[in-house]
Structure 1
């Protein structure tokens, strides 16, 4: 594969990583949601319309996409957060399906079935890495805060969290807002990178691919989404040269194997801590000389 193709693949991986982080944000609070794909679609088509009709600058368009996505996340949470388990997940999948219908039936705004062109000013390495860095910084800071502890508790057991004084709905509302902000930014970046968006750009395939990336990388730490998205984007390119049309089959088999033998994904902080603790236990007593130091006698 040529250098240009590799660069394009890595750019796709960065955009997919941003979408994966948006899915992780709600999964962190115990909610499986594909709504970020809908948030990204709305933000991307809004960016395309405003850039073409009003000449809005790319930076303002990106900020608008983030704000619009966060607002949609809050509205979505208010509507569907009372649902439970697979019903909530199905509701977010329905949003993606409804989004495609809206795209096709509002041609003046979206270009209809033909799609629309998008300015490519944001489809650069600086923008992609910058957005990923900001998203990673936000999630890392939240993970060390009270919200992070509350989100972990709600994900493990919402009933226990409620008995401890944590409101699961409030935590999940914040998760949806963060997810919407990341999804909106990812949609704008996706559109600017492709320089074209249509009815199939933000559809169920993108949602399932990014969800698989989260599962592959690890759904228990934000960095797993980035690792999974990069691996899930690059791996098919490696396999395609050698296996041709069978690359998706092998990718699927590898994903199943990882789920079976690494159920917490490639990035498992708990496993790393256990290995580190085990290595410390196995360290000889005299290692480092700390345990062989002779203490002086204290005179009475």
Structure 2
């Protein structure tokens, strides 16, 4: 028993950050899945993550707030910003919405860089208390998955599906399209902010380069790769994309190439993602036997 405990302690000391990163990335993938479920190709989640990270870190460092209050602040701040920018921006659709939200992300990065007295500028924030523990991340993922599941099967979730399928038809059915889009955008911002707040209190240091275009593409890739047909898809995609570089670490200089090839193969042969409920029903479901 002591030997097993010693092995676990050794494993946790080496891989604890990786394990917690799985949960944080799952939250990020779920945040963009929520907007995709409403037919919104919004790329502001990396910026919302940064707003949540800096808000929570500054509350802890400058005002010595309790960790729970810092997490709440890390959710409220990006949710409020999402509400403010969502009202004009969500008039756009498709690639135009993606471009506008990418522009917003660049504005957030520039603001962080130019407010050195508050955010540390390009040097970032150092010395953030490492308060995030495994159960914080696990509880956050469980609660978010539960809330999104209840939302998906509710009247609001059905309205999201209708808007995604046909926005005009949904409007003719009496669904307030703009209000539901704004709700998805704000909730997605809050979840991304929660991920940022947890990550800030895990990594000890945050900088503006962590919340740029590359992170935004990574978040979208996790959701698309896992599959947007259900809540399990983004979580599976986040786990896959987080673990893949570690699994390929032994390939040294070829790791990035093999990583890219694997992603291309998955996208080509599994266009609906790793988690596709319809595919599993076809593979494992009972075939109906028709009389001759």
Using structure 2 for the length normalisation, give the TM-score: 0.91
Deviations 1:229-280 (A, max 9, x none): 0110001111121x21222222222222222221111111222334454x24
Query: What RMSD, in angstroms, separates the aligned Cα atoms of the two structures?
Result: 1.7
Give the Cα separation in 2 of the matches to 1:104 and 1:72. 18
Contact in 2 for aligned 1:31/1:172 (Cα 8 Å):
yes
**44, 48, 56: which one pairs with 2:65?**
56
Give the Cα separation in 2 of the matches to 1:201 and 1:18. 16
**103, 111, 129: which one pairs with 1:119?**
129
Structure 1 stretch 231-240 or stretch 255-264: which is displaced more? 255-264
**276, 280, 289: which one pairs with 1:272?**
280
Contact in 1 for aligned 2:125/2:207 (Cα 8 Å):
yes
Contact in 1 for aligned 2:53/2:193 (Cα 8 Å):
yes
1:167 aligns with 2:205: no
Instruction: Give 1:164 deviation, angstroms.
Output: 2.0
Instruction: Give 1:106 deviation, angstroms.
Output: 0.1
1:66 aligns with 2:71: no
Question: Which position in structure 2 is the counterpart of 1:244?
Answer: 252
Give the Cα separation in 2 of the matches to 1:207 and 1:28. 17
**219, 225, 241: which one pairs with 2:234?**
225
Question: Which position in structure 1 is the counterpart of 2:97?
Answer: 88
1:204 aligns with 2:217: no
Contact in 1 for aligned 2:49/2:195 (Cα 8 Å):
yes
Question: Which position in structure 1 is the counterpart of 2:225?
Answer: 216
Question: Which position in structure 2 is the counterpart of 1:7?
Answer: 16
Contact in 2 for aligned 1:43/1:65 (Cα 8 Å):
yes
Paired residues, what number?
280
Contact in 2 for aligned 1:136/1:222 (Cα 8 Å):
yes
Residue segments in structure 2 that go unaligned for 5+ positions in a row: 1-9
Using structure 1 for the length normalisation, give the TM-score: 0.88
Give the Cα separation in 1 of the matches to 2:197 and 2:77. 11
Give the Cα separation in 1 of the matches to 2:69 and 2:80. 16
Give the Cα separation in 2 of the matches to 1:269 and 1:164. 28
Question: Which position in structure 2 is the counterpart of 1:102?
Answer: 111
Give the Cα separation in 1 of the matches to 2:81 and 2:143. 20
Q: Secondary structure at the match of 2:79?
A: helix
Give the Cα separation in 1 of the matches to 2:85 and 2:34. 14
Give the Cα separation in 2 of the matches to 1:148 and 1:270. 19
**22, 25, 30: which one pairs with 1:16?**
25
Give the Cα separation in 1 of the matches to 2:86 and 2:156. 17
Structure 1's 99 and 31: CA in aligned 2 closer, same or farther, altered over 3 A?
A: same
Contact in 1 for aligned 2:50/2:208 (Cα 8 Å):
no
Give the Cα separation in 2 of the matches to 1:203 and 1:186. 15
Give the Cα separation in 2 of the matches to 1:158 and 1:141. 22
